[in-house]
Amino acid sequence: MSLEYYLKRNHITSDEDDYMAISINPESYSIEDVYDYMTREGSTVTRAEALAGFEEVTRAILNLVQQGHSVVTPLVNIRPGISGVFDSEDDRFDTDRHEVRINVSPGLRLRETADEIPTQKVEPRERIPTITHYSDNSSGSRDAEITPGGGARIVGQLLKFDEEDPDQGNFFVNTSNGTETRVESTLLRNKPSELIFINPELDPGTYRLEVRAILQDTTNLRTGLMTDQLTVEDAS
């Protein structure tokens, strides 16, 4: 796989001959996908060992950061800092005016990896929401089952939308009769790469998942479709 990109006019500069690269990331992977890779066929590491190891490393790093320390690792460098304006030399931290921030930068090995990523120029594509995976929390399934009223998660690209606009959002479309059901619950997370929400009450059947959004710097509604169909099982 390569890091695909296309060129777009660079409006930051005044030179009309200046262009900038817009990268297209073909996949978005979660920590669960990392565990799957670590425990692939032939690996000597079990999933339980991978989970335990990651949890121990995470707890150790969080403990050090919570004490105000910086942590330098081969993958990321983490440094807590403080933002906000102080009125004088005698002023003190005030939660109403100041905020502790976590600053993260690539570690040495991650920076070195940049030189090893192959690139490939492609033709410009229309920017649309891209659904990579749908995860159903109640059943523990991915890209397969919908549990009405249960928690769910979508990962992908360009997923963020205006929740106040009824034309935008997550829609489950019944493939047998075309009935559309919009997710009306307040989203727990509405980010370009991740949506977390509560599934609507759906009748048993097969559904197509769509994300509809008006993307930044655009004015028309664009729709991203999930390739796999999802199913609500008949509880009876």
- Predicted confidence (pLDDT) per residue in 18-35, tens digit: 888 888 776 778 888 899
Name the pLDDT band for 234 (thresholds 50, 70, 90): confident
- The residue whose two tokens read 């105000």 is 68
The reply to whether 135 and 195 lie within a common domain is yes
Q: In the beta sheet, which residues pair with residue 140?
A: none
pLDDT tens digits, residue range 118-161?
A: 999 987 777 889 998 999 999 999 999 999 999 999 999 899 99
Count CA atoms closer than 13 A to 14's CA, side-chain side: 0
Q: Which residue range is the domain that position 150 belongs to? A: 130-232
Q: Amino acid letter at 164?
A: E
Whether residue 95 is contained in a domain is answered as yes
Q: Give the per-residue pLDDT at 26.
A: 62
Enter the pTM of the model. Answer: 0.56
Per the CB < 8 A criterion, the answer to whether 130 and 25 are in contact is no
Q: Which of 89, 104, 121 is the last residue of a domain?
A: 121
